[in-house]
Amino acid sequence: MSEDGVTLFVDSRYTELAQNQSPPVKVNQIDTPFDSFWESYSRSFEGERVGYESHKITHRQVLELRDRSRAAKLNLVSTQGVIEKVRSVKDPYEIAQIQKSVDIADRAFAKLLVAIKPGQTEIEIAWLLEKLIREEGAERVAWHPFIVAVGANSSMPHYHPGKAQLQKQDMLQLDFGAVVNGYCSDISRVVFMGKPTADQRKVYQVVWDAQESAMRRIHPGAKSKEVDAAAREVVEKAGYKPYGHGLSHGIGLEVHELPSVSLRSTDVLQEGNVISVEPGIYIPGWGGIRIEDLVLVTKSGCETLTKSPKDISKVTI
């Protein structure tokens, strides 16, 4: 990427694919090993400043790059997040693809509510959800495996599904997403197998209230850490320990993108950001509840893209 535009270097396996998928970008095919190519190519901009993504390449690769750039006397500059910051603001096409991805995940969840039954294992439910997402038109799932946690297992935010069986009166924590045209979705819902207990209802409502509180603070110019704090305050006032993860992350070509919304984040929200909002309460030995929706930061606030039901009566089987 330079003042003259963007050039994408690929080998023969990807030339036609790159030309089809990236029409505004100049595609150059490399027919020699990259290090040999770079040593020759770098001489065409001798003495220039060249940035490399320090968060994407290894220290050894940097040393090799410097060695191969020695003859050209390049000034190699470490950069971080340059492309990611541009990607954090979505254009109308990108927003439309994310919405399609969300819609597929929503439809799959609606079908799952009808299909899940006591006795199914976490692994079986994860596979069923993945199957439904693919049948609804996703090119692939957003990650693997989905988070499917029965009962007390749901107190672990990034739990991997196992052989635990779903039983009557269990809570079931789900975290899943689809991919459409390269763009991801990310949704979390809790399903109750039978009438929720008083404690389950209480915790669920606190998490939902925390999410709503955070959403009311979302607008262009909002400080990410203040949005996160709005959710944490609700959880703490209710007497629970707040979630240990960040409240939110951007989403797009990757499940986790900029901006980051957490107490330690210095990011400021912009119109066009698409972010998750996912507070949770996790109680070891009891279980956990996390509700997650994707929202678009608009000129005046935010728009919720996710349509899957959250009312406790509609997620009770």
Give pLDDT tens digits along the chain (317 positions): 666 678 888 888 988 888 887 777 888 888 888 778 877 888 887 888 888 888 888 998 888 888 888 877 888 888 888 888 999 999 999 999 999 999 999 999 999 999 999 999 999 999 999 999 999 999 999 999 999 999 999 999 999 999 999 999 999 999 999 999 999 999 999 999 999 999 999 999 999 999 999 999 999 999 999 999 999 999 999 999 999 999 999 999 999 999 999 999 999 999 999 999 999 999 999 999 999 999 999 999 999 999 999 999 999 99
Backbone φ and ψ for 118, nearest 5 degrees, come out as: -55, 145
Task: Select from 3.30.950.10, 2.40.30.170, 3.90.950.10, 3.90.230.10 the CATH code of 92-315.
Answer: 3.90.230.10
Query: Is the C-alpha dihedral spanning 152, 236, 227, 301 positive or negative?
Result: positive
> Which CATH architecture describes the domain 7-87?
3-Layer(aba) Sandwich (3.40)
**Beta carbons of 166 and 119 less than 8 angstroms apart:** yes
Backbone φ and ψ for 282, nearest 5 degrees, come out as: -125, 120
Query: Is the C-alpha dihedral spanning 112, 116, 121, 124 positive or negative?
Result: negative
| pLDDT value at residue 61 | 84
Alpha-carbon gap, residue 292 to 185, rounded angstroms:
11
Alpha-carbon gap, residue 180 to 20, rounded angstroms:
17
| pLDDT value at residue 42 | 80
- Exposure string over 97-116, b if 16+ CB within 10 A, otherwise e: bbbbbbbbbbbbbebbeeeb
* pTM of structure: 0.90
Structure tokens at 309: 């039901």
Alpha-carbon gap, residue 20 to 17, rounded angstroms:
5
Alpha-carbon gap, residue 208 to 194, rounded angstroms:
20
Q: Structural domain boundaries of the chain?
A: 7-87, 92-315
| pLDDT value at residue 44 | 80
- Exposure string over 149-168, b if 16+ CB within 10 A, otherwise e: bbbbbbbebebebeebebee
Closest CA to 58 of 50, 66, 48: 66
Closest CA to 269 of 210, 221, 204: 221
